[in-house]
Structure 1
C-alpha cells in the first residue's frame, strides 16, 4: 500500500497567508481557494475588493488542478490552441490560476486564485504553495 502526505489545516492557513501577502504586495484584489486532492474546499479567502464571482472561479480553478493533477494553464492553452471542445469538459475550469500542490510526486492539494490577469492569479497561487 502506498502512503502520501495530506495537507493539514495549518498548511492551508500557511498557503493562504503567503498567497494573501503576494496579492496585497501587488495590490491585487483576489480570492484564494485551497482544496484537498479530491477537489474538496479546505479554505477560501476573498480579499477586499475582489468580485463575488471570483470566489466561485477560484474554487473551480483549484478543483480542476487537483482532479486533473496539472496546472489549469494547460487546459487554457489547449482551448486557445483550438481544442475548443475541451471547454465543455465536466468539473473543469479552463482558466490559468489553478496550481496543484505536489509532495513526493503526489498531488496532495491545489490552490486556485481568481481576480486579476491569469498569469497574476497563477503567481499568487505559486507564492502560496512556496510557503510549504
Structure 2
C-alpha cells in the first residue's frame, strides 16, 4: 500500500490567508475556493464586493484543476484553439484560467480556484496562496 500527502486544515488556512492577502494588496474583490484532490470543497470565501457569480466559478475552477491535475487555463487554451469538444468533458465546468493545482512531491493534493478579476489575476492570487506552503 502506498501513502501520499494531503491537505490538512492548517495547510488550507495558510493557502487561504496568503491568497486573501494577495487579493487585498491589489484591491481585487474575488472569491477563493480550495478543494482536495477529488475536487471536494475544503474552503470558500467571498471577499467584500466580489460578484455573486464568482462564488460559483471559483470552486468550479478549483475542481477542474484538481481533477485534471493541471491549471484550468490548459482547458481554456484548448477550447480557444478549436478543441470545443472539451466543453462536454464530464465533471469539468470551470474551464477558465484561475484554477491551479497544489502539487506536493509529485502528487496533486488539491487545487485553488479564484474568480472575480481578470483570469491572469485570478491565477496570480491562487499561486500566491499555494506559495504559502513552501
Query: Which TM-score bucket, shorter chain as reference?
Result: over 0.9
For residue 75 of structure 2, what is the aligned residue in structure 1? 75
Distance in 1 between residues matched to 2:87 and 2:16, nearest whole Å: 28
Query: Which runs of 5 or more residues in structure 1 are unaligned?
Result: none
- C-alpha contact 1:76 1:94 (8 A) present in aligned 2: yes
Question: Displacement, 1:89?
Answer: 1.4
For residue 114 of structure 2, what is the aligned residue in structure 1? 113
Runs of 4+ aligned structure 1 residues displaced above 2 Å come to none
- C-alpha contact 1:101 1:108 (8 A) present in aligned 2: yes
Distance in 2 between residues matched to 1:2 and 1:110, nearest whole Å: 22
For residue 102 of structure 1, what is the aligned residue in structure 2? 103
Distance in 2 between residues matched to 1:126 and 1:35, nearest whole Å: 14
Question: Displacement, 1:87?
Answer: 1.3
User: What are the Cα deviations for residues 84-121 of structure 1, in whole angstroms up to 9, with x where unaligned?
Assistant: 12112122121000000011000001000000011000
The count of residues paired between Structure 1 and Structure 2 equals 132
Question: Which runs of structure 2 are paired with 1:47-86 in the superposition (5 Å)?
Answer: 47-86=47-86
For residue 14 of structure 2, what is the aligned residue in structure 1? 14
**Root-mean-square deviation over aligned CA pairs:** 0.7
TM-score where L is the length of structure 2: 0.96
For residue 5 of structure 2, what is the aligned residue in structure 1? 5
- C-alpha contact 1:60 1:91 (8 A) present in aligned 2: no
Aligned-partner SS, 1:110: strand
